[in-house]
Amino acid sequence: MSRHPVSTGAAMHLAGYRALGLDFTYIPFAVTDVEGATRGMRALGIRGLGVSMPYKQAVIPLLDEIDPVAARIGAVNTIVNDEGRLRGYNTDWIGAVRALEEVTQLGGARVLLLGAGGAARAVAFGLAERGAAITIANRDLEKARQLAAAVGGRRCPSTARRPRPSTASS
């Protein structure tokens, strides 16, 4: 469910299904009516939908259930239809967290996260879920502060550049 679906997502999903031997297909839908698309998913028995911006928050009130991590993140990117009951998940954080877990233990790790936008928000909640101590650095210090507060982390102190003293002599 996207306003402007791209073929890359379909190619990636189809390759994954083939590699796993799953008899699934992936069809990108250009959607302008989120409520209608959600009703259609339920009515047609569509098993799952991927959700992209700008619908990751708009779809939440239309679902029957929200995964606890998705609820804390405040965004859903995957909807699963279990016999007409729609449950929302956020899987954006999972890939990043799993990749990090391949090389380090996240519980108790100190992590500097650059950014406080949508993807960073999902990753920050995933890191917090795994017990990492998170410091958020972002150009917009207020967004960094808000995200840090939401995940129990801290905002990186301002790193605004100060003018250098003049070295030229008169």
Cβ neighbours of 105 (radius 10 Å): 11
56 given a catalytic annotation: yes
**Contacts of residue 9, Cβ cutoff 8 Å, sequence gap at least 6:** 2, 26, 28, 50, 52
β-strand pairing of 48-50 with 78-82: antiparallel
From 1, 38, 55, 56, the catalytic residue: 56
Extract the runs of DSSP E, i.e. beta strands, from the chain: 48-50, 65-66, 78-82, 85-89, 110-114, 133-137, 154-155
CA–CA distance, 27 with 30 (Å, rounded to integer): 10
Provide the annotated active-site residues: 56
